[in-house]
């Protein structure tokens, strides 16, 4: 009976194990994780940092669950090399090396935080990715440290809020003039900035030429961050710098094994890599030039791969039975309690778009839809997100809302009287 080996025990692997269920065709599934603790929900680390949940609440399964599915989880176990010819892995665990054979291999190694080269010279900088990061961030916050978070995307904002809630004084620096600029427009960013400032976070959008200033007495310590804003140079003293400027797929293992890679590990529409019996999914992979940073597309990838793995012996390139993976639009939600923001599709003006908008910015309310030929291309809900599931459905189904006119701003129900 064949063995399935999975490298990495993050969000993609957990979803794959749940989807494969108890009736999978493998004698056993071995999951190799370089983290020391059992699988937890990485998305919820923001809420853990904000002290709004506990580690128990974000740990979905106990030992029995894994046993019932013939899953053998190995922690603190780093895969150092893949040998696709011999179908073996070289592993380091507890300072010992050993090899492990596989019949089918899934690489789900995720991604790493981008840390600029100049920051490696310093000890008081870090990313926000793992459970161990929450522990370190909390220790700084509880000493009322001054933390500079660099990067005002989803992750940087959630880190800034969590740190503030634990007592840190936080400055959030973002290069773009618009916070979460992939998901928000200027108005939504202004509302969000105001909400963050009300929580005590100092927000600096449009911060340019960000530089780390070393401590004169302790050269491995950052004393301050300098940046330019409005043609002036600012100097912000800090005890810790947290980077949230992007992620990079963990493709090194695959690349060293000769598996074709671009920015990530290249997969086809069935999540197969260029090597026999080796699949990849999640943030480590690349499909049609796209890499990933949110779970929604990964859940779709899991559906495709789980179907594929149900027939381990006939899963060749010519006998694929699973539905292929296709790119779709996704709904992004900011996870900060009291600040509701949902964003979907394309959030930018293009010639030929019709834009519908409803605004009460002083009350934190804003809704905007970008339409083309009556079909939603993108939408934003700030404050009141109750319409977001309906808008998302119209976007995915590409329904023609021409007849509905401006009432699309209110959803399926039309107001009783016209304007
Ligand atoms: C704080 C935080 C909040 C987030 N919030 C959201 C959100 O609200 N919505 C959203 O859609 N996405 C969110 N994300 C992104 C989301 O968590 C990722 O998209 C998702 O975790 C990717 O899943 P993955 O399995 O590909 O990678 P991961 O979950 O990172 O899992 C990869 C695992 O592989 C391990 N690994 C790597 N190399 C090796 C090796 N050689 N040997 C053994 N193990 C290895 C890694 O240590 C890791 O445990 C958030 C991320 C963070 C950090």
What CA–CA distance (Å, rounded) separates 280 from 26? 18
Q: Choose the final residue of a domain: 243, 259, 294.
A: 243
Residues 121 and 239 occupy one common structural domain? yes
Claim to verify: residue 260 and residue 366 sit in the same structural domain: no
Residue 175 lies in a domain: yes
Counted domains in the chain: 3
Domain edge (last residue) among 287, 309, 331: 309
Average pLDDT, the chain: 94
Regarding whether 98 and 20 lie in a shared domain, the answer is yes
Q: What is the mean pLDDT of residues 237-246?
A: 97
286, 309, 332: which is the final residue of a domain? 309
Query: pLDDT digits over 279-302, tens only?
Result: 999 999 999 999 999 999 999 999
Residue 110 Cα to ligand 1 midpoint, Å, equals 5
Q: What is the pLDDT of residues 69-98, one digit of tens each?
A: 999 999 999 999 999 999 999 999 999 999
pLDDT > 90? residue 337: no
129-162 residue pLDDT tens: 999 999 999 999 999 999 999 999 999 999 999 9
Give the separation between CA 164 and CA 215, rounded to whole angstroms: 24
Pocket of ligand 1 (CB under 6 A): 7-13, 32-35, 42-43, 45-46, 78-79, 108-110, 128-129, 155, 250, 253, 282-284, 293-296, 298, 335
Ligand 1 pocket mutation pick from 42, 279, 287 by most atoms within 8 angstroms of CB: 42
**Out of 61-65, 131-135, 242-246, 403-407, which region has the weakest mean confidence (pLDDT)?**
403-407
Residues 108 and 252 placed together within one structural domain of the fold: yes
Read off the pLDDT band of 45 (50, 70, 90). Answer: very high
Least confident span in 33-37, 155-159, 365-369, 401-405: 401-405
Q: State the distance from the centre of ligand 1 to the C-alpha of 205, rounded, in angstroms.
A: 27
pLDDT confidence of residue 409: 94
For strands 111-113 and 247-249, give the pairing: antiparallel
pLDDT at 215 (0 to 100): 96
Residues 20 and 69 in one domain: yes
Query: How does pLDDT run across 249-276, given as a tens digit for each residue?
Result: 999 999 999 999 999 999 999 999 999 9
Predicted local confidence at residue 412, as pLDDT: 81
Residue 230, pLDDT score: 86
Residue 323 inside a domain? The answer is no
Does one domain contain both 252 and 107?
yes
Whether residues 358 and 292 share a domain: the answer is no
Does residue 419 register a pLDDT over 50? no
CATH classification at residue 99: 3.50.50.60
Residue 389 CA, ligand 1 centroid: distance in Å: 25
Residue 322, pLDDT above cutoff 80: no
254 and 224 inside one domain: no
In a domain, 328, yes or no: no
Residue identifier of the C-alpha nearest atom 8 of ligand 1:
43
Q: How many whole angstroms from its chain centre is CA 141?
A: 23
- CA–CA separation, 137 and 128 (whole Å): 8
Rounded mean pLDDT, 211-238: 95
pLDDT of residue 413: 62
Residues 174, 60 share a domain: no
Identify the CA nearest to 180 among candidates 350, 329, 388, 343: 343
The answer to whether residue 419 is domain-embedded is no
Query: What does the pLDDT average to over 315-323?
Result: 59
Give residue 95 CA to ligand 1 midpoint distance, Å.
24
Report how far residue 286's alpha carbon sits from residue 109's, in angstroms, rounded to the nearest whole number.
Answer: 13
- Nearest atom within ligand 1 for CA of residue 35: 47
Under 8 Å between Cβ of 148 and 327: no
Report the alpha-carbon distance of residue 25 to residue 23 in Å, rounded: 6
Regarding whether 236 and 123 lie in a shared domain, the answer is yes
Confidence band, pLDDT 50/70/90 cuts, at residue 314: very low
Structure confidence by residue, pLDDT tens digits, 196-207: 999 999 999 999
Is the residue at 327 inside a domain? no
Distance 190 CA to ligand 1 centre (A): 29
Ligand 1 centroid – CA 333 distance (Å)? 17
Is 46 contained in some domain? yes
Ligand 1 centre to CA of 284 (Å) is 9
Contact 24, 69 (CB under 8 A): yes
Do 31 and 132 lie in one domain? The reply is no
**Average pLDDT for residues 365-378, to the nearest whole number?**
96
What separation in angstroms does the CA of 327 have from each of 14, 48, 287, 299, 399? 21, 31, 9, 12, 18
- 23 in a structural domain: yes
Q: Which of 283, 299, 301, 333 to mutate to test the pocket of ligand 1 (most atoms within 8 A of CB)?
A: 283
With respect to residue 326, please indicate whether it lies within any of the assigned structural domains.
no
pLDDT, average across residues 59-73 = 97
Per-residue confidence (pLDDT) for residue 125, from 0 to 100: 98
pLDDT in the model for residue 323 = 82
By residue range, what is the domain housing residue 212? 115-243
CA of 202 to the centre of ligand 1 (A): 28
**CA pair distance 300, 181, nearest whole angstrom:** 25
Q: What pLDDT was estimated at residue 291?
A: 97
Judgement on whether residues 234 and 260 belong to the same structural domain of the protein = no
Asked if 8 and 110 count as a contact pair (C-beta separation under 8 A), the reply is: yes
Residue 388 sits in a domain whose CATH number is 3.30.390.30
The confidence score (pLDDT) of residue 319 equals: 58
- Ligand 1, closest atom to CA 45? 1
Is residue 5 scored above 70 in pLDDT? yes
């Amino acid at each position: 009976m064949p063995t399935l080996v999975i490298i990495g025990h993050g969000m993609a692997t957990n979803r794959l194990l749940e989807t494969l269920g108890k009736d999978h065709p493998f004698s056993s599934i071995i999951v190799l994780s370089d983290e020391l603790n059992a699988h937890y929900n990485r998305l919820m680390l923001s809420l853990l940092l904000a002290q709004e949940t506990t580690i128990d609440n974000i740990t979905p399964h106990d030992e029995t669950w894994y046993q019932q599915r013939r899953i053998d989880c190995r922690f603190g176990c780093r895969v150092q090399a893949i040998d696709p010819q011999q179908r073996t892995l070289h592993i380091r665990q507890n300072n010992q090396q050993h090899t492990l054979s596989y019949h089918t291999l899934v690489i789900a190694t995720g991604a790493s935080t981008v840390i600029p080269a100049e920051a490696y010279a310093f000890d008081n900088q870090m990313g926000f990715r793992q459970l161990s990061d929450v522990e370190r961030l909390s220790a700084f916050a509880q000493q009322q440290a001054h933390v500079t978070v660099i990067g005002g995307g989803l992750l940087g904002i959630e880190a800034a809020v969590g740190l503030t809630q634990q007592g840190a004084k936080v400055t959030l620096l973002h290069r773009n003039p618009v916070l979460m600029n992939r998901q928000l427009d200027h108005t939504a960013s202004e509302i969000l900035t105001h909400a963050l400032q009300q929580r005590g976070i100092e927000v600096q959008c449009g911060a340019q030429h960000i530089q780390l200033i070393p401590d004169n007495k302790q050269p491995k310590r950052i004393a301050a961050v300098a940046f330019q804003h409005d043609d002036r140079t600012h100097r912000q003293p800090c005890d810790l710098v947290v980077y949230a400027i992007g992620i990079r797929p963990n493709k090194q293992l695959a690349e060293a094994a000769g598996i074709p890679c671009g920015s990530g590990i290249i997969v086809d529409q069935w999540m197969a890599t260029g090597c026999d019996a080796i699949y990849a999914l999640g943030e480590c992979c690349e499909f049609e030039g796209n890499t990933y940073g949110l779970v929604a597309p990964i859940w779709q990838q899991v559906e495709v791969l789980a179907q594929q793995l149900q027939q381990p012996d006939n899963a060749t390139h010519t006998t694929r039975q699973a539905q292929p993976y296709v790119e779709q639009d996704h709904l992004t939600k900011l996870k900060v309690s009291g600040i509701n923001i949902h964003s979907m599709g394309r959030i930018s003006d293009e010639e030929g778009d019709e834009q519908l908008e409803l605004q009460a910015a002083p009350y934190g309310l804003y809704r905007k839809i970008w339409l083309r030929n009556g079909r939603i291309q993108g939408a934003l809900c700030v404050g009141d997100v109750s319409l977001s599931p309906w808008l998302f459905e119209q976007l995915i189904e590409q329904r023609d809302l021409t007849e509905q006119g401006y009432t699309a701003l209110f959803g399926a129900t039309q107001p009783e009287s016209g304007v």
